Amino acid sequence: MSATSALPATPGAAAAPAASGGACTSGPGAGSAVPAMPGSVRTPGAAAVSATSGRAHTPRSGPGAAPRAVDPVRTPGAAAVSATSGRARTPRPGPGTAPRAVDPARALDAAAPATSAHPRTSPPGGRSVAPAAPATPRPMYTDFDRCVRAVRSRDARFDGWFFTAVLTTRIYCRPSCPAVPPKDRNMSFYPSAAAAQQAGFRACKRCRPDASPGSPQWNERADLVARAMRLIGDGTVDREGVPGLAARLGYSTRQIERQLRAELGAGPLALARAQRARTARLLIETSDLPMADAAFAAGFSSIRAFNETVREVFALTPTELRARAAHGRAPAAPGVLTLRLPFRAPLCPDNLFGHLAATAVPGVEEWRDGAYRRTLRLPYGHGAVALAPRPDHIACRLALTDQRDLAGAISRCRSLLDLDADPEAVDELLGTDERLAPLVAEAPGRRVPRTVDPAEFAVRAVLGQQVSTAAARTLAARLVTAHGQPVRDPLGGTLTHLFPTAEELSGLDPAALAMPAGRRATVVRLVRALATGELDLGVGSDRAEARARLAELPGMGPWTTGIIAMRALGDPDAFVPTDLGVRRAAAARGLPSTPGALTRHATAWRPWRSYAVQYLWAADDHAVNHMPAH
């Protein structure tokens, strides 16, 4: 998950080609993995050569081993030769060494990554033990030939799946970099920008790999690594450190370090540092903040660390970065950051923005001037955002009361619009069903409209049980007026409040809710569970555990639990067979219309059943299926 996957919207800045194609405009919208340290793959019979020291070696076995970067030049049957010094050494077996880096990217012809959650076991003594990783398809960056083909075709679909390091220039790029590709023997591949940076490579100034879309794996998967990546993207390490990350996940720091290194070639501190570097670049290029303020807002603890990291990652000083970006930059309102959020093509904005606009809560959300706008509650303060679809990116305008919230705000906006999804993998699978195929072909690239605040969405889902969209908006607006925190709209609209937190709603008088007594009781129980921490719906929560807790609450039926899993927990495989719109669309297309039969049929749609719901909803003529008028 690339929390700060954004580009400054500055015409004069050196910008990379968008990691996406044109937005879908045809058809209506739809309704409401990997061993560690970086390196490339070895050819059988050849010794690996270090990309940094030039010394050849073979991997050392042992538990928790972390890999070393290796040179991709190999001759079958012969020892590898260093690209720098030519020196080689014999392999040293033994425990405690790092495994070879494995890229989480999808191979050109490989299946999508597994999405099942890992069970967690607790031995005598109570401490959680990290489970063994399940078998997953071979990560793309371990297949040298496939990576080379992706680089030579400049295929933007693979941006964020892996990173290309050039051994001669010591830079790393995204696969779609417009520069002339290097020779095969001068390329090596890494699973993350942090791993490439740790190996001593700097970001390419032309393609800006730090602004690639995030890997879709971290939203698809529900295991420890995916949960950790979502929390790191939300800024947990910067705010609470690695111990805070471990506490949220329920594992030891050592277990988290080992699994992240095994999958991404870098530990939590290195991953957080790479995110701080991206955030710093955005602040430098898109704001007029003094450099000292930008340093601390990006999460650095000192000016020195800020200067050293920016020079090391981007090969430019902070002042030089700002000077390069200033040429031709359009002036922005004071305190407003203007960014470009990349995505993988295709993206159909109809159901995405249509749903958000049709269900907008007055005072918290609105559609104005071709953009969806809403208030944001963030760890250090609050803010407001305006998001507008463009053919090759999402235009984003952010106003924050505390700039330290920038990385978290971008992460939440990307999650809201499902921008890190892999639409080709989704549509390829769903298109194999002859009943769904026409809907997929009509408007490919549908996303799941999600939320910036899972607890907020859970409350709104209960308010919306068995009532119209307009009635649900009215009920939510009354809650906001009575309990929400008033704020000023810095973007010049009609936003007036933050949606109330569970703690602010804990004193809610059920009699004030204009709904049946049973539903009032459900709202009160839900708010209490969220406020006490009995129910965790946060970005790093365990999806299976959260669903089980939701199902235990009286009044939380399968539909409500499924909708919360789909839109608040971000589960790509959540399914709501009891939904009236889904059943009506299924029957119209010759699919089973009873919940049981439809669930059995939908097994073939796994792990993308949430997206199948979007395509089925699209068959209905409802306001949520259409882009709102300006």
Residues 35 and 174 in one domain: yes
pLDDT of residue 222: 79
Is 256 a member of any domain? yes
pLDDT digits (tens, 9 = 90+) for 436-450: 999 999 999 999 999
Is 109 a member of any domain? yes
Q: Based on the structure, what is the number of domains in the chain?
A: 2
What phi and psi, each to the nearest 5 degrees, are found at residue 275? -70, -40
Is 273 a member of any domain? yes
**β-pair partners for 372:** 367, 387
The residue among 335, 363, 393 that closes a domain is: 335
Residues written for the chain: 630
Catalytic residue selected from 24, 147, 173, 204: 173
Is 95 a member of any domain? no
Is position 173 annotated as part of the catalytic site?
yes
Read off the tokens for 115: 């999405």
pLDDT of residue 287: 80
Contact (CB, 8 A) for 597 and 585: no
pLDDT of residue 192: 87
Residue 13: what residue type? A
pLDDT of residue 8: 60
Residue identified by tokens 């030939």 is 145
Q: What is the 3-state secondary structure (H, E, C) of 223-267?
A: CHHHHHHHHHHCCHHHHHHHHHHHHHHCCCHHHHHHHHHHHHCCC
The residue among 335, 360, 386 that closes a domain is: 335
> Containing H/E element for 497?
strand 497-498
Contact (CB, 8 A) for 502 and 527: yes
Q: Cα–chain-centroid distance for residue 235?
A: 13
Residues 37 and 177 in one domain: yes
Residues 314 and 463 in one domain: no
Is 350 a member of any domain? no
Buried b (16+ CB within 10 A) or exposed e, 544-571: bebbebbeebebbeebbbbbbbbbbbbb
Domain CATH for 512? 1.10.340.30
pLDDT of residue 217: 74
Is 492 a member of any domain? yes
The residue among 286, 301, 335 that closes a domain is: 335
Distance CA 312, CA 325 (A): 18
Residues 195 and 329 in one domain: yes
Catalytic residue selected from 234, 405, 422, 579: 579
pLDDT of residue 54: 41
Is 202 a member of any domain? yes
Residues 172 and 316 in one domain: yes
| Full domain range(s) for residue 589 | 454-625
Q: What is the 3-state secondary structure (H, E, C) of 354-403?
A: HHHHHCCCCCCEEEECCEEEEEEECCCCEEEEEEEECCCCEEEEEEECCH
Is 25 a member of any domain? yes
Domain CATH for 327? 1.10.10.60
* Burial of 531 from C-beta contacts in 10 A (0-12 / 13-18 / 19+): middle
Contact (CB, 8 A) for 81 and 115: no
Q: Cα–chain-centroid distance for residue 72?
A: 30
Which stretches in the chain have pLDDT values below 70?
A: 1-139, 327-334, 630
Q: What is the 3-state secondary structure (H, E, C) of 472-524?
A: HHHHHHHHHHHHCEECCCCCCCCCCEECCCHHHHCCCCHHHCCCCHHHHHHHH
What is the maximal distance between C-alpha atoms in the chain?
A: 80
pTM above 0.75, yes or no: no
